[in-house]
Amino acid sequence: MPTISAGALKRMLSLPSNIVVRKPRIGEDPHGGTVVTVPVRPYANDMDRCAKCGRHGRPYDWLGTRRWRHLDLGCARLLLEYAPPRVACREHGVTVAMVPWARRKSAYTRDFEQQVAWLSVHAPRSAVSALMRIDWKSVGPVCKRVADDLRAEQGGGLFDGLRSIGVDETSYRKGHRYMTVVVDHDRGRVVWMHEGHGEGVFRLFFETLTEAQRASIRVVTGDGARWIDSCVGEFCPQAERILDGFHIVSWATDALDKVRTMVWREARRTGEARKGAKDPIKGARWALLKNESDLTAGQKARLEYIAGTNGTLWRAYKLKEELRMILRQPADEARVLLLRWSGKAASSGIDPFTGLGEKIGRRCEDIVRTIRSGLSNARLEAVNNKIKTTIKIGYGYRNLDNLIALVMLKCGGLDLTLPGHQ
């Protein structure tokens, strides 16, 4: 009966070249089915390397036999078997020796983990767990090990060439649980993520960069948060601070919705709006917040009713629409119109717009730079949507580090490929 040579078996299983492969054994899998066990060992020159630093260490003792799960052979589970030594490393002390086919502290081979990570980017964790026949709790740690490895391969160059970045926070769990996301606008990828939001978290990003990497940043986009301004001013004084047009309009829509709520509550208090009756003001929220060009016939009718019955709410609506139109004008013309608008809003007597008028006046030059640059956080908002989709796909990731690793695999531009694929 013909047999497969060790070299041919090594190529079939896509194992590293610097290992010795012995005759496999076929047995019954305790979980059902067939299991193939392949005894392996590293070449002699690679047997006593520290798993943390890769340098040779002094042999210390030998551990019992261990097995690593490899990609299935047909419908049979495939295990690599080896009894690794422990070595005494000058830097890290006594540690288990490195093996070429698996990452440190992993019960799976590199190819197996690579396939699990690739599937996790495209499928729910339950499906990955069923297909790869592993416990669903193991999927998250596998993704983190693969992402850490791919990022380590990029080394210090991960943040090289950053010119324009966007920063925003996105929620990853109910209860106001946020993480901060930094995106490279030029390459359309996430470059950094961290739990929490605010100045303290954003400072961690800049502290990760070298002086040269900070100096290369020319544009920082984001909302009007002051913690973004202070960090950019401290770490990247040469960078232009650009506000996002979407957030500028959202300031006005938030103010308008507050006015609508105030007007409706006042109508309820005075008896003008009866409880349980169909109230045009209460039901006009979307009509007020939508762009004028996108209104339906019913929404236009609601606005006509408001124009004829409630002057305060109508003036607030026209202020919102006027600000939206100003942002579409050329930069020099917009500067004059913005200053005029801020004065009108500040003296309107409508509380939410009074504060907004003052805010627009303070941030006038930032807004003009936004208009002149043509940049926005649209790419960052698109990435945020991909992040939220990834969170839904990865439902059940309770460890945030594992979830961040999954997002980096999907949105971080990492070179994640299936085993055996270029």
Determine the pLDDT at residue 391.
72
Tell me: the pLDDT tens digits for 240-265?
888 877 778 888 989 998 988 888 88
Q: Outline where DSSP puts E strands in 227-355.
A: 240-243
Q: Could you tell me where in the chain the CATH 3.30.420.10 domains are found?
A: 105-243+378-422
Q: What is the bridge-based pairing of β-strands 93-96 and 189-195?
A: unpaired
Instruction: Inform me whether the pLDDT recorded for 396 exceeds 70.
Output: no
Q: What is the pLDDT of residues 214-225, one digit of tens each?
A: 999 998 988 878
Q: Where are the beta strands (DSSP E) in 176-227?
A: 177-184, 189-195, 219-222
171-227, pLDDT tens digit by residue? 777 767 888 989 888 888 889 999 888 999 999 999 999 999 999 999 898 887 889
Which residue type does 187 have? Answer: R
Which residues have C-beta within 8 Å of that of residue 30, sequence separation ≥ 6? none
Is the pLDDT at 132 greater than 80, yes or no? yes
Q: Has this prediction a pTM greater than 0.75?
A: yes
pLDDT tops 80 at residue 281? no
Report strand pairing: 219-222 vs 240-243. Answer: parallel
Residue 277 — pLDDT band, cuts 50, 70, 90?
very low
CATH of domain 105-243+378-422: 3.30.420.10
Measured in residues, the chain has a length of: 422
d(CA 408, CA 117): 11
The average pLDDT across 160-172 equals 85
Taking each helix axis from N to C end, the angle separating 125-132 and 110-122, rounded to the nearest 10 degrees, works out to 140
Closest to 351 (Cα-Cα) out of 260, 246, 279: 260
Closest CA to 414 of 109, 105, 121: 121
Helix axes 311-326, 351-362, angle to 10 degrees: 20
Average pLDDT in the 277-285 region? Answer: 65
Q: Give the model's pLDDT for residue 236.
A: 92
- Tell me the per-residue pLDDT of 329-340, one tens digit each, with 9 for 90 and over: 888 898 999 999
Mean pLDDT of the chain: 85
Per-residue confidence (pLDDT) for residue 262, from 0 to 100: 86
Say if strands 76-82 and 85-89 run parallel, antiparallel, or are unpaired: unpaired
Which stretch of DSSP H or E encloses residue 157? none
Q: How confident is the model at residue 308 (pLDDT cuts 50, 70, 90)?
A: confident
Contact between 418 and 129 under an 8 Å Cβ cutoff? The reply is: no
